[in-house]
Amino acid sequence: MPRILMTGASGGIGTSLRKLLPPIYPDLLLSDIKPPADLGANEQFKAADLADLAQCEAICEGVDGIIHFGGYSVEGTWDQILQANIIGGYNLFEAAYRKGVKRVVFASSNHAVGFYPRHHRIGTDVTPRPDGRYGVSKVFGEAVGALYADKHGLKVTCLRIGNFGDMPLDQRRLSIWLKPDDLVQLCRIGLEHPDIHFEVFYGASLNERAWWDNHRAYEFGYRPTGRAEDFREHAMAEQAKLKPDPVGDHYQGGAFCSNEFDGDASRIIDWNKR
C-alpha cells in the first residue's frame, strides 16, 4: 500500500479526513505544526513547520503521495499568509520533489476566484480573481504545482474547495458545499488516477445552484454523492438570520470580498448589466 502524508492534520478538514482515510490508506502519516489534541495511539504523526524546508523534507521521506491541507486556512495578515501558505507551500512542493514523492493533492480554494459575480458560471481555466491575501496564496500554490508538474513530472491535483462540512449552512453554501466523502473521492482521483499530470478541480458536491463548471473532475470519474438541495430549508432559515452584505452577497467569495473592501461599489451595478 502507498504511504500517504496528510498535512494540516489538526485542522477542521484534517480532523474529518483522519477518520475517513485510514480504511483506504492504512499507511497514513499525519503532520501539523502541533499534534491533534485527540491523536490516537494507532495514528502516525510527525510535527513540522512548513516554513522550514528541512522539516518539510523530513516528513516527505519515504512518502508516495501527499494530501496538502496544511497552512493558514482563513484570511490573515500578510506575514501569517506569507510564512504558512506561500513559503510553506513552496517548501512542501520542493521537499516532495527532492524526496521523490510521486503525487501531490493541493488544497486550493474557491477564494482564488472569489471576485467573480455569483451569476457568472466559471470553469477552472479562468483568470484568477482572488478575494484576499489568503486567495492570493492559493493562486500561488496552484502556480507552483503547475511548475513542478511541467518541469519535474510531479503529478499534481489542485482542489478549489468550496465549503466543507456535513451540510450547507446558508444560501451561499448551497452553491459551494462539499460533503466530506466527496472530498475523499477527489483526493483518491489525485492520488490514484493514471492520467493525472496537472489538474484543477472544484471541491464541490452535487449542487444544483453551483457557480462552477466542474466537468474536468467528472471526466476523471468524480461522482459526488452529496446533494445540497436536500438541506435547502435549513440553509435558507440560517440565511434569514444574517445581515445583508451588498458586496459579499454579490460575489462568489462572500464575506472575504467585503472584508476590507473600499473599492468601487458601482462595479457591482456594472457587472449586473453584463
Tell me, what's the pLDDT at 111?
98
Tell me, what's the pLDDT at 267?
79
CA distance 71 to 68: 9
Residues 93, 144 contacting (CB under 8 angstroms): yes
Residues 259, 132 contacting (CB under 8 angstroms): yes
Tell me, what's the pLDDT at 270?
61
Tell me, what's the pLDDT at 242?
95
CA distance 126 to 132: 17
Tell me, what's the pLDDT at 266?
86
Pick from 271, 76, 105, 100: nearest CA to 186: 105
Three cell numbers, residue 56: 518539510
Annotated catalytic residues are: 134
Single-letter amino acid code for the residue at 60? C
Longest alpha-carbon distance in the chain? 58
Pick from 126, 21, 134, 42: nearest CA to 88: 134
CA distance 63 to 45: 13
Does domain 4-272 fall into CATH 3.30.930.10?
A: no
pLDDT tens, N- to C-terminus, the chain (274 residues): 799 999 999 999 999 999 999 999 999 999 999 999 999 999 999 999 999 999 999 999 999 999 999 999 999 999 999 999 999 999 999 999 999 999 999 999 999 999 999 999 999 999 999 999 999 999 999 999 999 999 999 999 999 999 999 999 999 999 999 999 999 999 999 999 999 999 999 999 999 999 999 999 999 999 999 999 999 999 999 999 999 999 999 999 999 999 999 999 887 866 555 5
> Domain limits of the chain?
4-272
